[in-house]
Amino acid sequence: MLLTISTTHHPATDVGYLLHKNPARLQTEELSLGKAYVFYPDASDDHCTAALLVEIDPVALVRGRGPAGEGGQLEQYVNDRPYAANSFLSVAMGRIFSTAMSGRSKDRPELAETAIPLTAHLPVIAARGGEDLVRRLFEPLGYTVELKGSQLDDKFPEWGESPYVSLTVSGMVRLQDLLTHLYVLIPVLDNEKHYWVANDEIDKLLKRGEGWLGAHPEKDLIVTRYLKRQRSLTREALSRLLAEETPSGETEDMPSMEASAERTPSLHNQRLQTVLSVIRDTGAKRVVDLGCGEGKLLKLLLAEKQFDTILGMDVSYRTLETAKERLRLDELPERQRSRIDLIQGSLTYRDQRLNGFEAAAIVEVIEHLDAPRLATLERIVFEFARPTHVVLTTPNAEYNAVFETLPAGEFRHGDHRFEWKRVEFETWASGVAERFGYWVRFEPVGPVNAERGDPTQMAVFTQKEVAA
Ligand code: SAH
């Protein structure tokens, strides 16, 4: 099967820097499913075409954990797999163009970020769902779609059309986007068995779908087909995408809104400084900030040598983009850059990426979750991820009366589902500690009011085995 990518951007051969494949060479790679070749049938300053040819070995597929075709023995060996673009092509792309798909280019970083005229051509793909579906998948992403169908046999027009089409999509896009769109949409169009689909496919899909899939009008169909109609996976992926689109707790100007109710913009800073110093005192080297928002705490953590692995997670893709900019991740020298990572994820889903941390911060997040989701978060954090220490903050409702601008009975922020009095928070936190084997202590944050306590409540949890 074949995919070609062409550009007329000038100088066109620069696309080789983005793909990390030299236009002057034929490159061959052995994959478990066969062999892949990258070569340039056309390479000049004015136009350049890169070709990815994947030669599937149908016998190897049968021998491996490949498809036991529904058509019995023969279909295992004789099928369209080697010829028509399908999920194997995505697998090969993921291997061969992985750097390009992540948008990194050492030699042409700016070009990687630039929309250029690009055309992708798939000479043969099974458009299951018809030509109309092909358009519905690609056009909302801004592509011009060209399709050429063919009769099964021109001597027998009554046999009708072949399900295979030749597909060309063109647009002004970043190469990274074109590749990730194809990566997700090729298996969706093919809609046959794919040779993946495990739980971590959701993460892959969400990673590749970042920034576009959540808003795609055919999102449901894409997710359903990509995940091979496995209902539970589909449901989870869709709800995580939904979370991306309308993240609970996300509003553009959240910190300032909170600050305005609190009337002391520095309260947020005080809170972060307190959290930082508690985390520092635990001696942790690996820390995760859960619901990291725009990355203010991450910035403080990054400034301290003690922390060699720093992870920020948030459900909101948009917020993470802001965090990435604020932290200037792209400009950090490699040694600094390798200490920190940002991931999209939700505290209401079990996630192996959260395992193995010595300290976790959960700052002003829990009040954005309603009761059933809070119960899930408890298990995700304290039962599954199980950091050694957890530093968690939430507003103290009793203190709200001190904020002159906040009408009685209202929350500090429109998205808060609750704000707890001290006794409520302490009861909750003690219950969590008890159930999951942690000790908990409470410490004040911000100026303490004799009657109403401190504006922010903070609980510090430590695993019992460690404290003992
Ligand atoms: N900790 C940051 C941000 C607090 S605002 C700070 O103190 O500055 C709350 C953050 O929680 C938002 O960024 C929101 O997107 C995130 N959030 C809400 N629900 C979440 C969930 N289920 N999983 C992960 N993050 C979530």
The pLDDT tens digits of the residues spanning 160-192 come to 888 888 999 999 999 999 999 999 898 888 876
User: Which residue from 274, 288, 315, 317 has its CB within 8 A of the most atoms of ligand 1, so it is best to mutate?
Assistant: 315
Instruction: Give dist(CA 11, CA 154) in Å, integer.
Output: 42
DSSP one-letter string for 222-256: HHHHHTTT-HHHHHHHHHHHHHHHS-TT--TTHHH
Q: Provide the angle, in degrees to the nearest 10, between the axes of the packed helices 219-226 and 231-245.
A: 140
Are 386 and 299 in the same domain? yes
Instruction: Give dist(CA 437, CA 383) in Å, integer.
Output: 9
The mean predicted confidence, pLDDT, of the chain is 85
Residue 74 lies in a domain: yes
Residue 366 lies in a domain: yes
Residue 319 lies in a domain: yes
The CA 441 to ligand 1 mean position distance, Å, reads 23
Instruction: Give dist(CA 410, CA 204) in Å, integer.
Output: 40
Rounded mean pLDDT, 256-271: 59
Domain boundary among 150, 169, 196: 196
Q: Could you give the C-alpha distances from 228 to 56, 206, 349, in angstroms and in order? A: 21, 15, 21
Residue 250 has pLDDT above 60, yes or no: no
Amino acid making up residue 319 = T
Are 190 and 272 in the same domain? no
Are 326 and 430 in the same domain? yes
Are 190 and 271 in the same domain? no
Are 289 and 145 in the same domain? no
How confident is the model at residue 231, as a pLDDT? 66
The CA 315 to ligand 1 mean position distance, Å, reads 7
- Residue 199 pLDDT level (bands cut at 50, 70, 90): low
Are 50 and 146 in the same domain? yes
> Tens digits of per-residue pLDDT, 319-365?
899 999 999 999 999 989 999 999 988 888 888 899 999 999 999 99
Residue 223 lies in a domain: no
Instruction: Tell which residue, 226, 235, 194, 192, has the closest CA to residue 207.
Output: 226
Binding-site residues, ligand 1, Cβ < 6 A? 247-250, 254-255, 291-293, 296, 314-316, 319, 346-348, 363-365, 368
Instruction: Give dist(CA 197, CA 205) in Å, integer.
Output: 10
Domain boundary among 145, 169, 196: 196
- Domain containing residue 159: CATH number: 3.30.1610.20
Are 94 and 184 in the same domain? yes
Are 19 and 150 in the same domain? yes
First to last CA, the chain: 60
Look at strands 48-56 and 34-43 and give their pairing: antiparallel
Residue 447 is classified by DSSP as: P
Residue 137 lies in a domain: yes
Q: Nearest residue CA, atom 13 of ligand 1? A: 293
The CA 369 to ligand 1 mean position distance, Å, reads 10
Residue 257 lies in a domain: no
Percentages helix, strand, coil for the chain (3-state, rounded to 5) are 45, 25, 35
Rounded mean pLDDT, 85-102: 87
Are 136 and 270 in the same domain? no
> Tens digits of per-residue pLDDT, 53-62?
999 877 766 6
Contacts of residue 322, defined as CB under 8 A and 6 or more positions apart, other chains included, come to 294, 295
Cis check: omega of the bond before 11, within 30 degrees of 0: yes
Instruction: Give dist(CA 77, CA 62) in Å, integer.
Output: 7
Residue 230 lies in a domain: no
Q: Which residue has the higher pLDDT, 386 or 406?
A: 386
Classify the C-alpha dihedral 307-311-314-320 as positive or negative. positive
Domain boundary among 150, 177, 196: 196
Q: Nearest residue CA, atom 10 of ligand 1? A: 291
How confident is the model at residue 205, as a pLDDT? 83
- Residue 157 pLDDT level (bands cut at 50, 70, 90): confident
Sheet of strand 2-7, all strands in order from the earlier edge strand to the far edge: 27-31, 34-43, 48-56, 2-7, 116-126, 164-173, 144-148
What global pTM score does this model have? 0.52
Least reliable range by pLDDT among 7-21, 65-79, 249-263, 430-444: 249-263
Residue 195 has pLDDT above 60, yes or no: no
CB 177 within 8 A of CB 184: no
Residue 108 lies in a domain: yes
Show the domain range for 304: 265-467
CB-based contacts of 249-256 (< 8 A; 24+ apart in sequence): 249/291, 249/315, 249/316, 249/365, 249/368, 249/415, 250/315, 250/316, 250/318, 250/319, 250/415, 251/414, 251/415, 254/293, 254/413, 254/415, 255/293, 255/294, 255/296
Q: Could you give the C-alpha distances from 163 to 83, 126, 150, 166, 171, in angstroms and in order? A: 13, 6, 8, 10, 25
Are 327 and 192 in the same domain? no
Instruction: Tell which residue, 64, 220, 72, 199, has the closest CA to residue 136.
Output: 220
Per DSSP, the three-state class of 390 is strand
Are 322 and 438 in the same domain? yes
How many domains, the chain? 2
How confident is the model at residue 230, as a pLDDT? 67
- Domain containing residue 367: CATH number: 3.40.50.150
The CA 405 to ligand 1 mean position distance, Å, reads 24
Look at strands 456-463 and 389-395 and give their pairing: antiparallel
Contacts of residue 281, defined as CB under 8 A and 6 or more positions apart, other chains included, come to none
Residue 251 has pLDDT above 80, yes or no: no
Q: 119-149 burial string, b = 16+ CB within 10 Å, else e? A: bbbbbbbbbebeeebbbbbbeebebebebee
Are 172 and 301 in the same domain? no
